[in-house]
Chains A and B, each alone.
Chain A
């Protein structure tokens, strides 16, 4: 009876310890994930902040490196927004991944964070949008090309390759996709503009500069 009792005791102790460990580790994980928020968006797993961190307005873009509309916005609208709002300190900008379009999309997003390890996130991000080809998954963003982009930016290839091949940032990209879904973003690009009072405006699609200007000006 004693033997049986101590066996049950051991099993219960093991279960209790497992529950405590699981709970505390998920708590730590959630705590880390919730460290940087803009409005209702947890941006901690997205890009670093482009522009002044103290700017009153934040523009969060959910995009995919293989999305042609994101390419259009990157080339046609983004430069004017940056010139008038980000460079002047009125707004800052964060990019988050909604990498769903093709099989190469998540890997391209992961590669951008591998470049971030070497402080070249934005250079790599720009490189991807400059190199985008009109066809999805035609090989322009396969792992070999992603490594070639890193090489052309002068990144340390050993650490970049090991980062990309190991899938170091796979969960980070998944987190961003889950965050996009949580916010109801169902296409790329989707933008959230967060004002100084926490007011949040969603813009779906590669809309023209005039739309952004009207919203940004109303928040300043």
Chain B
């Protein structure tokens, strides 16, 4: 497993991509879930009772940053299995959407635009925010496992 990671991330390009993805996911999710504020000045804040949600965001960001570059590597090297990157991007997206608390401007815009359909959708995403994020993490973890397995076989990594 470690060798597979070394194989992919020994290329600085994938390391930069992973860092950018991690920063993008962590900052984006922290902003929409109100852990990070830019106005009136930059401040991070984890309110009492919301710690678990933040831990899930960190896990989601780390997994997305690892799994997506690994699959891009796989496509570039082996020119196959585009489905896996689709799956990992989909999982990251689902995890991110679940974090879009309906209290915030994102929810307000959706509700203002789509009316009662927006309310129903946002209510679902808010009510099941944590289970959806856990589901997305499970999907990413599964994608990670299968990608590592595939790379081991296809790139003939020996232990």
How close is B67's CB to chain A, nearest CB, in angstroms?
30
Q: By the criterion CB–CB under 8 Å, are B45 and A208 in contact?
A: yes
Secondary structure dominating the interface of A: loop
CB distance from B121 to the nearest CB of A (A): 12
Contact with B along A111-152 (1 / 0, CB 8 A): 000000000000000000000001111100000000000000
A interface residues, Cβ below 8 angstroms from B: 64, 67-70, 72-73, 75-76, 100-103, 134-138, 186-189, 201-208, 210-211, 214-215
Q: What are the residues of chain B within 8 A of A68 when measuring CB–CB?
A: 101, 103, 126
In the bound assembly, the distance between CA atoms of A102 and B127 in angstroms comes to 11
Is B34 a contact partner of A69 (Cβ separation < 8 A)? yes
- Are the C-beta atoms of A69 and B127 separated by less than 8 Å? no
Q: Least Cβ distance of A195 to chain B in Å?
A: 13
Of B2-10, B47-55, B58-66, B86-94, the stretch lying at the interface with chain A is B47-55
B positions within 8 Å CB-CB of A: 34, 37, 39-41, 43, 45, 47-50, 101-105, 107-109, 111-112, 116, 119, 122-123, 126-127
Instruction: Knowing A136-B127, A205-B104, say if A102 contacts B119 (CB, 8 Å).
Output: yes
Most buried by A among B40, B48, B112, B122: B40
